[in-house]
Amino acid sequence: MTDRGFLDTGVIFGYCVPLDQHHSSCESYIEEDSDLYVSSDVESEYSRMKENRVDELAEDVRDYVKQLESANLDAQLDPIDINKIKKRHLDRGGDAYRFLYRFYAEELGNFAQLAEIKRKLRQVARDLETIALKRKRTLDQRLTEWDPQDSHEDVRATLSMIHQQDLDICVHAHDLACCCEGDTEFATANPTDFETECLQTTVGESSASIVPSICTHWWDRSSTRRGVGLRNARYRTSELEALESR
């Protein structure tokens, strides 16, 4: 655990929206006892992401309910029936797949009524926007919005190949690290956005916190030079990736 974490937009979205593929990992990360920071850019990007993605995820669940309705299933489902549903009717390429897999693993017992499954899933899709709003309000109580103190043009020049929005957020996290004692961790649910040769070799030495399915970058203020403190990330197979292989 580091002294503080700077959250990328995807981590906030993953925490607030249970249907997001990174929800479990983001929830575990955020619930750790560390100081959490964001920038105004992160908040703005979250608002845009939520406006589009929440409806898409809810629609995925509604489409899945339609599949169940046309699957000629018995009204009463036993463990064998439920296992068949997981194998035959869960689209691993769907955005809501991980949520649906957890739903069968955690919400249902050995036996279930098909009508009850459909009712619960429709309820989730209908209430998703409200759930996201409530979880964001809870999260906001723990977030501190960081106002960058420096533009860090040297870092911006070095990482100019990164998309502008991602670059701004990355530099804001770097600025936080430069202004605070101890370790600062940048957490993102989208590591490929930051997989660049400069991040991995040019800018700094290798060091990272290992968080399931979340790529993290560390800054140790005591041992890095201002403006050149980015360190690259390591990864491990996450619990969610293991889930997908079942």
| DSSP character string of 59-86 | HHHHHHHHHHHTS---SEE-HHHHHHHH
- End-to-end CA distance of the chain, in Å? 30
Tell me, yes or no, whether 44 and 156 share the same domain: yes
- Compute the average pLDDT of residues 88-94: 71
Residues spanned by the domain of 63:
53-131
Are residues 156 and 220 both part of a single domain?
Answer: yes
Burial class (CB in 10 A: 0-12, 13-18, 19+), 223: exposed
Check whether residue 125 and residue 233 sit in a common domain. Answer: no
Domain count, the chain: 2
Domain-ending residue, one of 131, 149, 179: 131
* Beta strand 183-188 pairing with 215-220: antiparallel
**Which of 198, 128, 211 minimizes the C-alpha distance to 170?**
198
Instruction: Look at residues 24, 25, 33 and name the one whose alpha carbon lies nearest to residue 4.
Output: 33
Task: Give 109-144 pLDDT, tens digit per residue.
Answer: 778 899 999 999 999 999 999 999 999 999 999 999
pLDDT in tens, 20-74: 988 988 888 888 867 899 999 999 999 999 998 999 999 999 988 998 888 888 8
- If asked whether residues 11 and 114 sit together in one domain, one would say no
| Beta-carbon count within 10 A of 47 CB | 11
Examine residue 198 and state whether it is found in any structural domain, yes or no: yes
Whole-prediction pTM value? 0.78
Which is higher by pLDDT, 157 or 201? 157
Between 236 and 196, name the one with better pLDDT.
196
Q: Is the pLDDT of residue 235 over 50?
A: no
* CB contact at 8 A, 215 and 7: no
